[in-house]
Amino acid sequence: MNFFPPEIDAYAEAFTRAEGEVLAALNRETWAKVLTPRMLSGHLQGQVLRMFSMMMRPKSVLEIGTYTGYSAICLAEGLAEDGKLITIDINEELHDMVLRYLEMAGLTGRVSAIVGNALEVIPTLQGTFDLVFIDADKENYATYFDLVIDRTASGGFIIADNVLWSGKVLLADSELDRETIALKDFARKLKDDPRVETVLLPIRDGLLVARKV
Ligand code: SAH
Ligand code: CA
Question: Which residues are in the CB-under-5-Å shell of ion ligand 2?
Answer: 135, 161-162
C-alpha angle 186/4/2, rounded to 5°?
A: 55
Q: How far is the CA of 108 from the centre of ligand 1 (A)?
A: 20
Edge-first strand listing for the sheet containing 207-212 = 111-115, 84-89, 60-64, 129-134, 152-161, 207-212, 196-201
- pLDDT for 123 equals 98
Round to whole Å and give the CA distance between 197 and 194: 7
List residues near ligand 1 (CB under 6 A). Answer: 39-41, 65, 67, 70-71, 88-91, 117-119, 135-137
Q: What phi, psi does 56 have (nearest 5°)?
A: -85, -30
Which pLDDT band, with edges at 50, 70 and 90, does 200 fall under?
very high
Q: CATH no. for residue 146? A: 3.40.50.150
Q: How far is the CA of 160 from the centre of ligand 2 (A)?
A: 8
Which pLDDT band, with edges at 50, 70 and 90, does 1 fall under?
low
pLDDT surpasses 70 at 196: yes
CB 77 within 8 A of CB 54: yes
| Pairing of the two strands 207-212 and 84-89 | unpaired
Look over the chain and give the mean of its residue pLDDT values, rounded to a whole number.
97
Instruction: Give the model confidence (pLDDT) of 37-81 as tens digits.
Output: 999 999 999 999 999 999 999 999 999 999 999 999 999 999 999
For residue 76, being part of any structural domain is answered with: yes
- Residue range(s) defining the domain that contains residue 190: 6-212
For residue 153, being part of any structural domain is answered with: yes
Q: How far is the CA of 39 from the centre of ligand 2 (A)?
A: 5
- pLDDT for 46 equals 98
Rg (CA), the chain: 16
Q: How far is the CA of 61 from the centre of ligand 1 (A)?
A: 16
For residue 169, being part of any structural domain is answered with: yes
Tell me the best of 31, 67, 205 to mutate to test the pocket of ligand 1, counting ligand atoms within 8 Å of each CB and taking the most: 67
For residue 159, being part of any structural domain is answered with: yes
Task: Give me the number of domains the chain comprises.
Answer: 1
Cα dist from 37 to 156, 183, 213, whole Å: 30, 21, 35
Candidates 91, 88, 85, 154; CA nearest to 121 is: 88
pTM: 0.98
For residue 1, being part of any structural domain is answered with: no
For residue 188, being part of any structural domain is answered with: yes
